[in-house]
């Protein structure tokens, strides 16, 4: 038990400090699991003078990356510095020096995951990144280990806490998008510049990583179609609510017949769906496997200690492999050729809200247009509108292909009595089955 394993940190922000805290707090458990003590020998920082909550006697703070990357005593490198090009370079250098790497950097893994994995395999090193998706939730392990013998068909995730917080506030307190965003910023759930979150880019990175692992195929960030929640209107959430749906920003990844579909978009989700109850800043990932059926993994998507927990799970796994003289990298190699699913093979139900002239025959012309395209309506909601001489019509279609729906939308735009298509969203799952309630609102 006199053994000790040294790790090096690249970066020492909130996650890095969390890693140091966990290692100090749980040394006894680590020794029990690994048969060795774990210590953070060095940490690369920008400014070593900056006061930090850690014992400088034990961890050497340095501004020179070589002190971490080239120290022969360091076996595992934890990259928590963020950013892309610099982090990529350091990680590649770490692999060349035969060090295992754990990262929490979703931007990096989404963009360069394949290259980094290949570099790891070439050098017989481990490359783990559990913390890059859904913070403290052990979802990547759930997929690669827990469902290792299943054929995963679909992954749906609420993988961005900021947008889930905003949508929850709109849903439960009737806030506008702008007010909910402002509250999220005041509480620290949204950054001053929320672009990456509200436009869905953060979620897209996580879905690229999830898709790659779930389907063993090379999902690239560019393969993910993204629509964010910026400027989403309360009225659409309320209409959804009346019809039995909750608006969520859903990352959706599907793989059947070896054809891939990955996207992130605001979605009206049946209230019966397990993801519909995931509230506030929480994250959850729903996985549908051919054999296992429906599973869901729920937890905090961010935060210093939750994220550090995921980093440490990877560090422990890497140290175990190292001490056993093996690596686990083979699990993450991609296996299937990628082929994206075209729009005429992507099916779904859709919600549409539009303004029409308030005159006889409008609804009939809309419904014959859809009828000609073979699209039926499952629900229709007609609500009063304050604008003069306008009517508002809301409907949810039965399942149709995305290509067909897009075609319908463009023809709808051309109808002489349709003034404006206000919004349209994808719909997942069955809403309120009490049709009486729907008819009542007709």
Q: Which residues bind its own copies (CB under 8 A)?
A: 18, 22-23, 25-26, 29-30, 32-33, 35, 130, 136-138, 141-142, 145-151, 216, 274, 277, 282, 284, 289-300, 303, 305-306, 308-310, 312-313, 315-317, 324-326, 330-331, 333, 335
What are the beta bridge partners of residue 248?
Answer: 267
Residue labelled with tokens 């422990």: 316
Q: What's the burial of 274, exposed, middle or buried (CB within 10 Å: 0-12/13-18/19+)?
A: middle
- Is position 206 annotated as part of the catalytic site? yes
Closest approach, Cβ 318 to its own copies, in A, equals: 12
Residue 24 vs 199, nearer CB to its own copies: 24
Distances (CA, A) of 387 to 112, 210, 380, 382, 384: 50, 45, 20, 14, 9
CB atoms within 10 A of CB 228: 23
Q: Is 363 helix (H, G, I), strand (E, B) or coil?
A: helix
Q: Is 155 helix (H, G, I), strand (E, B) or coil?
A: strand
Q: What's the burial of 231, exposed, middle or buried (CB within 10 Å: 0-12/13-18/19+)?
A: exposed
List 206, 248, 341, 426, catalytic entry: 206
Residue 188 vs 325, nearer CB to its own copies: 325
Residue 28 vs 389, nearer CB to its own copies: 28
What are the beta bridge partners of residue 400?
Answer: 348
Decide the pairing of beta strands 152-158 and 225-226: unpaired
Closest approach, Cβ 266 to its own copies, in A, equals: 21
Closest approach, Cβ 104 to its own copies, in A, equals: 14
Separation of alpha carbons 106 and 83, rounded Å: 10
Closest approach, Cβ 169 to its own copies, in A, equals: 15
Closest approach, Cβ 280 to its own copies, in A, equals: 10
Closest approach, Cβ 139 to its own copies, in A, equals: 9
For 39, residues 6+ apart whose C-beta sits below 8 A from its C-beta are 4, 5, 6, 7, 23, 58, 59
Residue 29 vs 387, nearer CB to its own copies: 29
How many secondary structure helices (H) and strands (E) does the chain include? 15, 17
Q: Using alpha carbons, select from 207, 82, 218 the residue that is nearest to residue 134.
A: 207
Phi-psi region of 367 (alpha: psi -120 to 50; beta: other; left: phi over 0): alpha
Closest approach, Cβ 332 to its own copies, in A, equals: 11
Q: Using alpha carbons, select from 210, 222, 221, 296 the residue that is nearest to residue 253.
A: 210
For 385, residues 6+ apart whose C-beta sits below 8 A from its C-beta are 355, 391, 392
- Catalytic residue numbers read 206
């Amino acid at each position: 038990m006199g053994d000790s394993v040294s790790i090096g940190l690249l970066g020492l922000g909130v996650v890095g400090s969390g890693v140091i805290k966990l290692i100090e707090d749980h040394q006894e458990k680590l020794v029990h699991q690994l048969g060795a003590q774990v210590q953070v020998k060095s940490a690369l920082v920008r400014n070593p003078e900056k006061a930090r909550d850690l014992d400088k006697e034990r961890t050497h703070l340095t501004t020179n990356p070589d002190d971490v990357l080239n120290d022969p005593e360091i076996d595992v490198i934890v990259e928590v510095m963020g950013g892309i090009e610099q982090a990529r370079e350091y990680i590649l250098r770490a692999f060349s020096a035969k060090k295992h790497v754990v990262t929490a950097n979703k931007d990096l893994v989404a963009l360069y995951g394949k290259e980094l994995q290949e570099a790891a395999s070439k050098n017989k090193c481990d490359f783990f990144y559990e913390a890059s998706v859904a913070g403290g939730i052990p979802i990547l392990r759930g997929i690669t280990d827990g469902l290792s013998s299943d054929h995963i068909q679909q992954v749906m995730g609420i993988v961005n806490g900021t947008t889930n917080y905003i949508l929850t506030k709109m849903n439960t307190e009737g806030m506008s998008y702008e007010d909910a965003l402002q509250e999220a910023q005041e509480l620290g759930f949204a950054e001053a510049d929320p672009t990456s979150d509200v436009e869905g880019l953060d979620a897209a990175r996580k879905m690229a990583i999830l898709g790659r692992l779930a389907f063993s195929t090379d999902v690239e960030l560019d393969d993910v179609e993204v629509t964010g929640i910026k400027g989403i209107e309360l009225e659409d959430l309320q209409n959804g609510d009346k019809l039995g749906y909750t608006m969520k920003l859903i990352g959706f990844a599907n793989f059947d017949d070896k054809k891939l579909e990955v996207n992130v978009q605001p979605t009206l989700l049946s209230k019966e769906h397990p993801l519909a109850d995931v509230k506030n800043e929480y994250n959850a990932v729903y996985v549908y496997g051919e054999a296992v059926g429906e599973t869901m993994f729920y937890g905090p998507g961010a935060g210093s200690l939750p994220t550090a927990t995921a980093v440490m799970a990877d560090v422990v796994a890497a140290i175990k492999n190292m001490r056993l003289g093996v690596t686990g990298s083979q699990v993450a190699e991609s296996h299937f050729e990628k082929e994206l699913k075209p729009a005429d093979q992507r099916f779904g139900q859709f919600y549409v809200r539009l303004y029409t002239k308030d005159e006889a025959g409008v609804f009939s012309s809309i419904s014959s247009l859809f009828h000609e395209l073979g699209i039926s309506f499952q629900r229709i909601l007609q609500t009063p509108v304050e604008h003069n001489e306008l009517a508002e019509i809301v409907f949810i279609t039965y399942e149709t292909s995305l290509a067909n729906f897009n075609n319908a939308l463009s023809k709808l735009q051309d109808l002489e009595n349709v003034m404006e298509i206000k919004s349209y969203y994808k719909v997942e799952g069955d809403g309120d089955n009490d049709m009486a309630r729907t008819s009542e609102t007709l």
